[in-house]
Structure formats: C-alpha cells, structure tokens
Amino acid sequence: MNDLIIPGIFVNHPKKKDWGIGQVQSKIGDIITVNFENAGKKTINGKEIELEIIKNEL
C-alpha cells in the first residue's frame, strides 16, 4: 500500500486521527512528508506507519 503514497494525495494517520486530513508533500524512499490540517508538517516513516489513503469518490 505504501507504493500508492504519492505527492498530492490526501491521507489520515491511523493512530493520530486528531491531526485531521493530511496532504502528502513528498516521498523519498520510506520517508513521507505530510502537511496535516491540525498538526502541520510531519515526517512519517512508511516502514513503521501505514497511512490511510482518503479515496475521492465522485
């Protein structure tokens, strides 16, 4: 699932729901930078945390 994480998509952190929705800013290897609406910019290790992709169903 980590391969689907690309810049521009929206995600949730599975253990930090209070951070709100985040937009992926960059991904270099397993290091993912996400800008969350309630927590600002965070760096996530994709080997340790599997971010939940928010599907856009129109």
Which residues span the domain enclosing 7?
2-46
In a domain, 13, yes or no: yes
In a domain, 30, yes or no: yes
Per-residue pLDDT of the chain (58 residues; tens, 9 = 90+): 567 899 999 999 999 999 999 999 999 999 999 999 999 999 999 999 999 999 765 4
In a domain, 31, yes or no: yes
- Report the distance separating Cα 2 and Cα 46, nearest Å: 7
CB-CB contact of 9 with 58 (8 Å): no
In a domain, 52, yes or no: no
In a domain, 7, yes or no: yes
pLDDT at residue 58, rounded to an integer: 44
In a domain, 54, yes or no: no
pLDDT at residue 3, rounded to an integer: 77
> Which residues pair with residue 45 across a beta bridge?
31
Q: How many distinct structural domains can be found in the chain?
A: 1
In a domain, 40, yes or no: yes
Q: Which amino acid, residue 18?
A: D
In a domain, 58, yes or no: no
With CA atoms as reference, report the closest residue to 20 among 35, 5, 7.
Answer: 35
